[in-house]
């Protein structure tokens, strides 16, 4: 496990250095910087700010350019674009992006240790080791784990709540209850959706007290303590960052946090275009989430995640896992995983499997009892082979882990989009490739990047296809799920000659293309050196 952690930090650091800033990262970096330097908690309405602030601390050491702005107003789109433009002009974009990814890399490793702690508390040492390895040895985790975002901290704090809840269920002492309250405060300070995890923990504590025969105030006292600590920690984060928040807030929650809840209720209920396995749609699509796991998880990890819970059920029935342990697993691990998954299932913003990271992390704990089979020599060898295969697949995904999709669902740009394949991470490759080619370009990436930042680039979207010859570069997201993808529907009918990092498709036209719309799925790579229309 320690070797896997060291390897993860090494290759994760390589990818953090290699990948350009993804679509949302400049928003979090700039809003984190404003929170620290100007006590501005309103720039980014996606609250809470705690983990954005933690991630930006190394950034402040490398001296980013912080443009002036209108503080304490919601202008994340405009200000993040100005922030990116300022870094590009000053030549600080690369080091700012890399520095912002150092804390997330550490958080990803801490999550592996948290999974080890929960699984070993429930099932023993080797299931804990397997849980940590299942988290570390997958391209999906490597791809998302080296980026500055809100999904990974939410997964980490959710796992901490599960760990603290397991400890309290096992010990029922005051110290464990205080740790549970601290964990709940942290998850509520990681993401607004963390309130669902707090509600689950609150309900489990009340139910456990009732099962133990506690009545009246004695039944409710532990849960009230957990809720009080959650409230205090949420308030503490805001007061430290901006003491004036006390003046213009409700007693219940800080005003910016309440605005964050409102933002989630409005923004995350708006429909977004989706694309998966050749299908396009707008709005909710419940099959998207389980199908995304099949597309993005490596086959060895997927096999263990399916087989592990079956082994757990068999172990409970055979008596190798006690009934008490099974109850604790359901209450502290399975229940929050299912609640978070059910919350995302009807969501109309099918932007990527990253929304499922908390549920995936908890499900790894449920699958970890597969290590209990290692007592049989043949099963131990089989488990070792599968984990070794997972390690090989992860290593082979470097340096393009974000674009990874499981075989035979390849190439990734034909089966997935947005943060599942193309989040703007290959901008630096595009800049290097564009020299001397004068390509037509449609690039999907952070606000503030324009064609003027790409040497010799010319506009692609809005240009009549019959007037195009030479090189063309188009991001996979622009071709499949972006709101403007119909403007490039004709390009999907032509085969690309190569890709940059698996996320930007390259075309070369010796003859002008036609306007005829192509299929919903971009064509596979050309067998030759020039793009031509693919007939089906």
What pLDDT sits at residue 269?
67
415 occurs within a structural domain: no
Kindly state whether residues 120 and 171 are assigned to the same domain. yes
196 occurs within a structural domain: yes
Domain boundary among 76, 102, 128: 102
Max Cα-Cα span within the chain: 81
452 occurs within a structural domain: yes
- Three-point CA angle 287, 293, 299, nearest 5°: 135
Domain boundary among 84, 102, 120: 102
SS3 233: helix
Kindly state whether residues 264 and 167 are assigned to the same domain. yes
20 occurs within a structural domain: yes
308-318 b/e with 16+ CB inside 10 Å = b?
Answer: bbebbeebbee
> Any idea which residue has 């549920």 for tokens?
359
What pLDDT sits at residue 69?
79
What pLDDT sits at residue 415?
96
Kindly state whether residues 186 and 295 are assigned to the same domain. yes
515 occurs within a structural domain: no
Q: Which domain holds residue 33?
A: 2-102
What pLDDT sits at residue 273?
84
pTM: 0.96
Kindly state whether residues 121 and 72 are assigned to the same domain. no
What pLDDT sits at residue 484?
56
Which helix or strand (DSSP H or E) is residue 360 part of? helix 357-367
Kindly state whether residues 89 and 146 are assigned to the same domain. no
Mean pLDDT by 10 residues, the chain (536 residues): 96 97 96 94 89 97 90 83 96 97 98 98 96 97 97 98 98 96 97 96 96 87 96 96 85 86 77 87 90 96 95 92 95 97 91 95 97 85 94 96 96 95 97 96 94 94 94 95 76 96 97 92 91 85
Kindly state whether residues 133 and 221 are assigned to the same domain. yes
Kindly state whether residues 34 and 115 are assigned to the same domain. no
What pLDDT sits at residue 325?
96
144-165 b/e with 16+ CB inside 10 Å = b?
Answer: bbbbbbbbbbbbbbbbbbbbbb
* Count of domains forming the chain: 3
What pLDDT sits at residue 249?
74
What pLDDT sits at residue 51?
97
216-241 helix and 174-188 helix, angle to the nearest 10 degrees: 40
SS3 267: helix
Domain boundary among 356, 376, 394: 394
What pLDDT sits at residue 500?
97
Kindly state whether residues 235 and 260 are assigned to the same domain. yes
Kindly state whether residues 47 and 150 are assigned to the same domain. no
């Amino acid at each position: 496990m320690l070797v896997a952690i060291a390897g993860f930090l090494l290759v994760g650091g390589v990818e953090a250095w290699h990948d350009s800033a993804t679509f949302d990262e400049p928003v979090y970096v700039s809003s984190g910087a404003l929170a620290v330097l100007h006590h501005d908690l309103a720039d980014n309405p996606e609250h809470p700010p705690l983990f954005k602030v933690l991630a930006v601390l190394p950034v402040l050491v490398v001296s980013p350019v912080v443009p002036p702005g209108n503080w304490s107003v919601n202008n994340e789109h405009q200000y993040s674009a100005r922030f990116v433009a300022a870094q590009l002009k000053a030549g600080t974009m690369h080091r700012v992006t890399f520095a912002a990814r150092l804390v997330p890399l550490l958080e990803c490793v801490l999550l592996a240790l948290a999974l080890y702690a929960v699984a070993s508390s429930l099932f023993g040492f080797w299931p804990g080791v397997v849980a940590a390895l299942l988290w570390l040895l997958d391209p999906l985790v490597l791809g998302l784990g080296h980026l500055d975002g809100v999904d990974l901290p939410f997964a980490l704090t959710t796992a901490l709540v599960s760990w603290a809840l397991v400890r309290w269920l096992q010990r029922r002492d005051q110290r464990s209850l205080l740790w549970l309250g601290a964990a709940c405060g942290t998850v509520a300070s990681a993401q607004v959706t963390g309130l669902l995890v707090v509600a689950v923990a609150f309900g489990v504590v009340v139910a456990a007290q009732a099962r133990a025969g506690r009545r009246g105030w004695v039944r409710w006292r532990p849960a009230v303590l957990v809720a009080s600590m959650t409230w205090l920690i949420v308030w503490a984060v805001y007061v430290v960052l901006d003491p004036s928040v006390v003046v213009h807030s409700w007693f219940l929650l800080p005003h910016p946090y309440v605005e964050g809840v409102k933002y989630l209720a409005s923004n995350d209920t708006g429909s977004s275009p989706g694309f998966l396995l050749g299908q396009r749609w707008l709005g909710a699509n419940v099959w998207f989430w389980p199908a995304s796991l099949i597309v993005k998880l490596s086959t060895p990890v997927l096999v263990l995640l399916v087989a592990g819970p079956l082994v757990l059920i068999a172990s409970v029935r055979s008596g190798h896992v006690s009934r008490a342990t099974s109850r604790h697993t359901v209450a502290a691990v399975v229940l929050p995983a299912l609640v978070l998954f059910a919350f995302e299932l009807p969501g109309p913003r099918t932007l990527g499997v990253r929304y499922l990271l908390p549920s995936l992390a908890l499900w790894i704990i449920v699958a970890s009892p597969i290590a209990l089979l290692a007592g049989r020599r043949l099963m131990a060898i089989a488990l070792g082979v599968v984990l070794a295969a997972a390690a090989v697949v992860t290593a082979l995904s470097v340096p393009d882990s974000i674009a990874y999709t499981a075989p035979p669902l390849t190439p990734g740009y034909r089966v997935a989009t947005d943060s599942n394949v193309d989040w703007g991470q290959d901008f630096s490759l595009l800049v290097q490739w564009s020299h001397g080619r004068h390509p037509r370009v449609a690039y999907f990436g952070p606000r503030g990047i324009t064609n003027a930042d790409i040497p010799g680039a010319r506009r692609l979207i809005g240009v009549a296809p019959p007037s195009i010859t030479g090189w063309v570069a188009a991001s996979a997201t622009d071709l499949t799920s972006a709101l403007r993808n119909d403007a490039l529907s004709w390009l999907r009918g032509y085969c690309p000659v190569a890709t940059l990092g698996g996320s930007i498709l390259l075309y070369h036209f010796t003859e002008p293309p036609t306007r005829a719309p192509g299929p919903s799925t971009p064509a596979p790579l050309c067998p030759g050196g020039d793009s031509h229309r693919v007939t089906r």
